[in-house]
Structure 1
Amino acid sequence: MSYLRADAGLIRELLPPEARPPSEADDLFLLYAVLMRAKGEQVTVADVHDAWAAWTEPRNPDHAALVPFDELSPAVQREDEPYVQAIQAAARVRAKDRP
């Protein structure tokens, strides 16, 4: 297993119970792992939305939420928050793992 897959698995494990990731989302969690490594605890809901949009676009190019984050309704914007929390928590875990 690669380091990115390990990070993706950690992020998935740290999701709050109310989060419902899409099916077949392994590649999406790889994008979240890249966000964790690039931004750490500074990751934002807009970052998470952009990663989701990059993952969704080839699968469903007509999806209604494929718009910039600030054009989403507040309810849809809140759907990204559990992923931000999980990415930030994973970043804290990985920071503790470093010598």
Structure 2
Amino acid sequence: MSSLQDTLYNWLTIKVVADVRVDDTAAQDTVNLFYEVLTEEHGISEITVKKDEQMYEVSYVLQGEQKRTRFPVELIDVMLEQMEAEPEKFINYPKEEENDEPTN
């Protein structure tokens, strides 16, 4: 299991991408996976995010206690910026429908 800090960092980084790329199925699936790890493995709830010019602040409840952690904007936004700079490297493939037969 990853540390809570590492999982928050990974979740927030992909959440920023998923919020902008709402049709990106990989980003949506990944943000949901990290959210499940945060809530089920780490036991946190009531996760909120605030952003100012320099920092992201993630607030959450852990074992009944309000907690918060901060991450520099440039550290979190780097993946989104890379995707925007080189979109040809980050193609979104549509999710296969359950009734669709795989193509070989």
- The answer to whether TM tops 0.5 is no
TM range (shorter): 0.3 to 0.5
TM-score scaled by structure 2? Answer: 0.33
Name the structure where helix makes up a greater proportion of residues.
1
Which protein has the larger Cα radius of gyration, Structure 1 or Structure 2? 2
